[in-house]
Structure 1
Amino acid sequence: MASLSFVLRARARRLRSALAPRRLWAARWRIFFGALAVVAAPLLLVGILALFTPLPEELREPAAPSLRVHARNGKLLREVRADDGARARPLPLASFPPHVRDAVLAAEDRRFYAHLGVDLGAVCRAALSNVTHRRVVSGASTITMQLARTVRPHRRSLWGKVTETALALRIEASLSKDRILEEYLNRVIYGPNLRGYAAASEAYLGTAPESLSLAGAALIAGLPRGPSLYAVTKRPDLAKRRRDRILVRMAEAGMIDEGAKERGIAEPIVANVDKPAFGAPHFTRALVSGKIAGVQPALAEAMRDKTALSEIHTTIDPELQRTAETAVTATLATLAPKHVTAASVVVLENATGDVLAWVGSPDFYSTAALGQNDGVLALRQPGSSLKPFVYAEAMSRLGFTGATLLPDVEIHIPLPGGGDYVPHDYDGKERGPVRLRDALGNSLNIPAVYTIQQVGTATVLARLHAFGFASLVEDAEHYGPALALGDGEVTLLELAAAYATLARGGVKKPVRVATRLVRADVPTELEAPAAEGRVLDERIAAMITDILSDKSARMSAFGDQNVLELEVPVAAKTGTSKGYRDNVAVGYTREVTVAVWVGNFDGSPMRDVSGITGAGPIFREVMEAAARSRPAPTRARSLSIGDDAARLGLARTSICALSGEIPTSACPHRIYEWLPEGDADHAPPCAIHHRVRLDMRNGLRAGPGCTREVTTERVFERWRQPYTEWARRTNRALAPEASSTACPTDDDTAELDGALGDGSGDPSVRDPLAPRIVYPFDGARFVIDPERPAELQLLEIRVEPEGTTVEVRVDDTIVSKTRTWPLAPGTHTITARNGSHASSPIRITVR
């Protein structure tokens, strides 16, 4: 029994020995196929996912850049972040030097050009290292996988890693290796709000990738592993250790030699404290937002689609911009006690229309002063700065010249809704008759209102529209004659552009704000816009410019050596709105135009600050700085008509200083004025100055009966309406009315020259009961507006004293009781009669 058991056990042992190798191999095959399944299943899954994973749309288009706005000299004014909030400057791979690309490969993926998006060797090494150290000490993400994770971020999970790997395989199958590396360099995050290698290079080291040293290239290449951990400005020691490791790897891979490695390691880190540029903040904001793109058609077209738009090179002169900002800050510091908190400046180059400087407020970041308001684009009343355009229209339509005599006495202008509009000069004085040159030079209000009444508010408004004042959107009736004094709202940019048109002799040209665009690395030059056409006759523009640049013309109001007296010839005008809420100073040389506004953004009034004391000092400093930047021969060119007279058809003509007419021997003072050639040949002689023979014994008029021994001749003035009251009140040199009893004249009402000493030849002087026509004035001119119904164009005739017994006639036709007469072309005579008492005739011209 025992032996049988022994035999069975022996046979069993032999059987097991025979089967052991087979079982071992079976076990081994089971382990192999199991391991293969463990590896193949994820790979199969990843492969299947990759087949059905589309290439992200982001990679079909270039990486979106941030928008960089440059000054005319290339200086960065502002960088506007891309839609994702990052600063980015995508570059083609060729723009990254070899040592930059090598540093990136050494830092992130040395086998980049050998694998297919997933480096299996690196995966195995990373797994072994992580198991050995029982923590994650090494990753296996390739550059392609990092790019996949950048364009399609995911949560840290196994499934996230699977989808990332699948997308990496899709990217490798769709794009070339160079394209993948380029996308990586332009899309991976290198720091807070820094997308791409170039943005990090400029932010941390202040230089473009093509200018980086080897050490700098390695420093930036190490950032994606931990943008905050290796931040150059916060943790320079860790950043240096990371950089040095990359340099060692580059040497180990044969990318650099030992000497280059050692020099790189020895190079100190000099970080750039990058403060985002924000020069000319109001200008760049208006440009990027599209608010001013419309002023330049080519730019407007480009701004409709900002895709891949990376650079705008503007017309801003950074030096002049800085001068303007400094002038604003310094002047407002002195004006603070007068409740002045804001000012704005815009400078244009006349020839091109380029905006050279743009200051919207003294401090863009001041909340208290409403600093983000832009005074260049804000609607403000321009005050007297519109007067040149009123007089230009009168010169164009009515033939006015600098010699035209205008009333600076109290006038009453009927308003459509009832009542009168009574303008006053800034100082409350009345100067009687003034020539247009002096009226404009001294910024007198009454002559300007009288002129706009003569030429018509509608026609002046049309002229302002032609000059580019698009903000004047109401009709003429809304503004009324006060439009001559700036009773309407315009922008400072419109005002500057209109004065630049005067500087160009009446040729309007669009404003230009940009000279070049870069889109998808393709530059596009923006030529200076072509002129829009002539909006004012060159001769009239020259006459206006001559007046605005005439120092003597403004001396009586502003004195000698005022802020408008510059070291260069300049045509300038100031303006102050009602209640001291706004004041402006605007003017031009041959080359540039400067416009300045001073006030408060909340609309509160300043305390007795005019255009001369407020905007004037800023205007002076900015204009002189702008002029100094020009060649000496051009900045010294005079603005007076001078040598251009013959070409313009103007002649320097002697006129009576008081009447503006051709002088007679009785005129005591003569001056020169530019008049159209030939005008002097048929112009009337001075009608104000005349000689009267007096009896020296009593100072009365001497008749033929007085001998020469007892008589003398003196020059007197004779005045017609509306100057008679002013002449009496101001004690003008009026001839006596009575004649000497020793030698009476043939007619007590006559004078040697055929007019009364008060000049009117006016029966009202002799007859106190005669009515007096107070409006219109003698010699007034009116223009029929062809666009308005004729029945609405009525002239209201005003007579004193008022009463139903007074009969008014125009050309012997009785006017209705409403005292309104429909305008008709021609020269007309208006008279008023109360019984046997008649007024002096008033003559008007209607065109």
Structure 2
Amino acid sequence: MRPALAAAALLWLATSALAAPPSFEQVRAAHRPSDLLLVDRAGVPLNSVRVDPTVRRGDWVPLAEVSPALRTALVLSEDRRFWEHAGVDWSGLARSAWANAVNRRTQGGSTLTMQLAGLLDEGLARPTGGRSVVQKIGQISLARELEARWRKTEILEAYLNSVPLRGELVGVAAASQQLFGKHPSGLDAPEAAVLAALVRAPNAPAADVSRRACGVLQLQKLDCGGVALLADQALTRRPGPAALAAGSPQLAPHLARQAAAAWRAGTRPVGPLRSTLDARLQRLALQALQQQLAELQGRNVQDGAVLVLDNRSGEVLAWVGSAGAALSSAHEVDAVLARRQPGSTLKPFVYGLAFERRLLTPASLLDDTPTELATGVDGIGGLYQPQNYDRRFKGWLSARTALGASLNVPTVRVGAMLGPDAVFERLNALGLQIDHTAGYHGHALVLGSADVTLLALANAYRTLANGGLASPTRWQPGAAVAPRRVMDARAAWLVTDILADNNARALTFGLDSPLVTRGFAAAKTGTSKDMRDNWCVGFTARHTVAVWVGNAAGEPMHHVSGTSGAAPVWRQLVQALMAEDPPQPPPAPPAGVLRQPVRFIGVAEPDRPEWFIAGTEQAVFQPRSVQAAPFGIAQPRDGSLFALDPDMPPQAQRLVFEGADGVWHLDGKRLGSGPRLLWSPWPGRHVLALRSADGRLLQQVHFEVRGATVRAR
């Protein structure tokens, strides 16, 4: 009797040591999928992303959603008396003990309930060498407790969601999706037999799995034909990282990665993570970008990004960080957060600051003629000669036209009036996070020489839409942050009015461009140096839409401008937003903005009503002076210093020789004749001479070109 007494004592010790088992509701609530599901504002699935690298575990699957074939196969394979016993199959344990004693092989006698006990309590988990007597008794005791407290259906449901099945796969949701590409509710008898076979030996070779699966089918008097091929295909299937999230699209992979980081750092709520995105708008933005990039094939354009913001709340409604693997070789890069040169999209903020400081009005005249500004970086002095996009000059024109038509030279003149420090501070106040210093960027800062993100740029335009009030964007639901004023409301309104004025932009873009919409919208395009980046950012009364097109690697595009690259995507989204919500009228002018007729004298500007900040209004505008026809050499100036950029193509760095109508000679060699000549620069010191038709020397200047030899492209 001593062995029996010892066993009874061990059973009493194991039972007394066990705490009360968790309830079924507690086990289900503690279940955590290995992939986080990101959903939109209405709960529509957007994307799944891996958050647990140790296992693959799907959502909890109710027993009613598990196919009857799998329930039958599992019970027949692992525990035929499951529905009859009270947690322990004593006859099965006896047969197992006898078989192990006679054959000296391990033969399992654990019921499904006992196996579940081992899954719920780490101390009862089966080690490589098998459980000890104490562990086995503890497993039996916990199984009996579970049977006493849980329903049989709950035990089977918890087991199906907790059992390891193959490699990192845990639970039928992960295994069914990964191995067969379907939800557990859709498993047929052969597929169910394969999964049931994996319970006993999760990592067995395909031949062993198919042999055991055949046995499970034979128990049901079903044919085994084809099960070997099925097992081999299932165990070698490589469906990719998104396979676990059955029915979950991959619409927002870049934002999903941010969601995963937030989930790991936060309280880790149960269930999907809700975002502020709109799944329908997200899908439309992705499709519009993909369609545009497909149309730009052959122009060396691979990448793009789209962002849509709600003006009032700052909520992100669409976040497309890439057009996807089919079009981009760098689709993992989130171009919404990548820092790139924004080009002319910074100009509105420069003019806004000048309006705010009352240095300009929309009717003020600016001189669009060749200019040279002293500059210096790291102690190296030189001259900065801004050029317009079309490398032509328009003469005197209004600030409204200069901004609307996106002319570079007038903008640089405005920036020079303000000073680089003031521009630098204003751009950072808008949240653009310009790096280095104002002196580092110099006068080129107003033309977008600094790097910004699409997210920051879009939010800066949203600040314009909100009358100069700035607040952070957010992609998770929550309370909005109180806005702060960073820009005068009157100046913001004037800039908005210009960006929405199709007549103001017609000089460069024409009257029918992708920036024209059927309702109110203010927009600006931008192209960085050497056509590496292409932007279109703008807003309606309710939304801000920002688009970037280019190459993640920084390679130049071929013949792609703001209106041909990013603007078509912008317009498609704005038109879609207007179609579902009637277009809103432009914002009313704030207090302190008035309108009066103005006349222009000596310039090609039509007389018109114009808006002013009160106190800056003026009735007549004319150039400060009438320029006489040039005599001699107007450009370059004597002593000019030019620096070559080896990364820019030669045609983008040609120097302009301008002056009286005559014959040009460079270093003693005749170049050509006329009032204007283009020359591809070459390093060295040069002498430029302009002579009359009869050979008289009109003027001679010296200038220097520095830099490495320009590479041909």
State the TM-score, normalized to the length of structure 1: 0.60
Question: Which of 77, 87, 93 lines up with 2:46 in the alignment?
Answer: 77
Written as runs of structure 1 = structure 2, the 5 A alignment for 1:378-527 is 378-416=338-376, 417=379, 418-470=381-433, 472-515=434-477, 526-527=478-479
1:377 aligns with 2:352: no
Contact 1:434-1:658 at 8 Å conserved across structures: no
> How far apart, in 2, do the equivalents of 1:244 and 1:496 lie?
64
> How far apart, in 1, do the equivalents of 2:12 and 2:359 lie?
89
Q: By how many angstroms is 1:226 displaced? A: 3.2
> How far apart, in 1, do the equivalents of 2:555 and 2:528 lie?
12
Q: Which amino acid aligns with 1:562?
A: S
Question: Which of 319, 324, 342 lines up with 2:303 in the alignment?
Answer: 342
1:731-752 Cα shifts (integer Å, max 9, x gaps): xxxxxxxxxxxxxxxxxxxxxx
> How far apart, in 2, do the equivalents of 1:151 and 1:120 lie?
22
Written as runs of structure 1 = structure 2, the 5 A alignment for 1:597-608 is 597-608=548-559
SS of residue matched to 2:559: coil
Q: By how many angstroms is 1:321 displaced? A: 2.3
Report the more deviating stretch, 649-658 or 303-312: 303-312
SS of residue matched to 2:388: coil
1:686 aligns with 2:620: yes
Question: What residue is the counterpart of 2:198 in the other structure?
Answer: 226
Cα 1:144–1:399, aligned 2, differ >3 Å: closer, same or farther? farther
> How far apart, in 1, do the equivalents of 2:469 and 2:281 lie?
25
Question: Which of 599, 605, 611 lines up with 1:674 in the alignment?
Answer: 611
Contact 1:219-1:240 at 8 Å conserved across structures: no
Contact 2:112-2:159 at 8 Å conserved across structures: no
> How far apart, in 1, do the equivalents of 2:210 and 2:466 lie?
58
Q: Which amino acid aligns with 1:124?
A: A
For the pair shown, the structure with the greater C-alpha radius of gyration is: 1
Question: Which of 487, 500, 507 lines up with 1:549 in the alignment?
Answer: 500
Cα 1:177–1:190, aligned 2, differ >3 Å: closer, same or farther? farther
Q: Which amino acid aligns with 1:610?
A: S
Q: By how many angstroms is 1:401 displaced? A: 2.2
Q: By how many angstroms is 1:584 displaced? A: 0.7
Written as runs of structure 1 = structure 2, the 5 A alignment for 1:8-407 is 37=3, 48=13, 62-66=30-34, 67-81=36-50, 82-90=52-60, 118-124=88-94, 139-149=109-119, 152=122, 153-155=125-127, 157-159=129-131, 163-169=135-141, 177-178=149-150, 181=155, 184-189=159-164, 193-196=168-171, 223=195, 226=198, 276=245, 277=248, 279-290=250-261, 303-305=264-266, 307=268, 309-364=270-325, 369-407=329-367
Contiguous gaps of at least 5 residues in structure 2: 223-238, 639-713
> How far apart, in 1, do the equivalents of 2:218 and 2:537 lie?
60
Contact 2:56-2:170 at 8 Å conserved across structures: yes
1:478-510 Cα shifts (integer Å, max 9, x gaps): 121211000100001111111122112222232
> How far apart, in 1, do the equivalents of 2:616 and 2:119 lie?
84
1:638 aligns with 2:585: yes
Cα 1:357–1:245, aligned 2, differ >3 Å: closer, same or farther? farther
1:508-546 Cα shifts (integer Å, max 9, x gaps): 23212123xxxxxxxxxx34x233322222222221111
Q: By how many angstroms is 1:184 displaced? A: 3.6
Cα 1:198–1:342, aligned 2, differ >3 Å: closer, same or farther? closer
SS of residue matched to 2:296: helix
Cα 1:602–1:80, aligned 2, differ >3 Å: closer, same or farther? closer
Contact 1:347-1:358 at 8 Å conserved across structures: yes
1:624 aligns with 2:575: yes
Contact 1:86-1:195 at 8 Å conserved across structures: yes
> How far apart, in 1, do the equivalents of 2:130 and 2:500 lie?
80
Q: By how many angstroms is 1:349 displaced? A: 2.0
SS of residue matched to 2:357: helix
Q: Which amino acid aligns with 2:451?
A: E
State the TM-score, normalized to the length of structure 2: 0.71
Contact 2:525-2:535 at 8 Å conserved across structures: yes
> How far apart, in 2, do the equivalents of 1:571 and 1:355 lie?
19
Q: By how many angstroms is 1:468 displaced? A: 1.4
SS of residue matched to 1:724: coil
1:312-364 Cα shifts (integer Å, max 9, x gaps): 11222223222222222222233232222222211222222222222222224
Contact 1:46-1:163 at 8 Å conserved across structures: no
Question: What residue is the counterpart of 1:293 in the other structure?
Answer: none
Cα 1:161–1:142, aligned 2, differ >3 Å: closer, same or farther? farther
SS of residue matched to 2:517: coil
> How far apart, in 2, do the equivalents of 1:43 and 1:104 lie?
35
Contact 2:464-2:492 at 8 Å conserved across structures: yes
Cα 1:533–1:217, aligned 2, differ >3 Å: closer, same or farther? farther
> How far apart, in 1, do the equivalents of 2:277 and 2:211 lie?
41
> Aligned pairs, how many?
595
Cα 1:494–1:361, aligned 2, differ >3 Å: closer, same or farther? same
> How far apart, in 1, do the equivalents of 2:281 and 2:605 lie?
49
Q: By how many angstroms is 1:176 displaced? A: 7.3
Contact 1:355-1:511 at 8 Å conserved across structures: yes
Question: Which of 556, 571, 584 lines up with 2:535 in the alignment?
Answer: 584
Greater RCO, 1 or 2 (C-alpha within 8 Å, sep 6+)? 2
Q: Which amino acid aligns with 2:258?
A: L
Contact 1:148-1:164 at 8 Å conserved across structures: no
Contact 1:390-1:484 at 8 Å conserved across structures: yes
Contiguous gaps of at least 5 residues in structure 1: 1-32, 249-272, 291-299, 516-525, 661-666, 689-718, 730-764, 775-847
Cα 1:286–1:434, aligned 2, differ >3 Å: closer, same or farther? farther
Identity within the alignment, %: 33
Contact 1:457-1:480 at 8 Å conserved across structures: yes
Contact 2:48-2:250 at 8 Å conserved across structures: no
Cα 1:244–1:584, aligned 2, differ >3 Å: closer, same or farther? farther
> How far apart, in 2, do the equivalents of 1:481 and 1:118 lie?
83
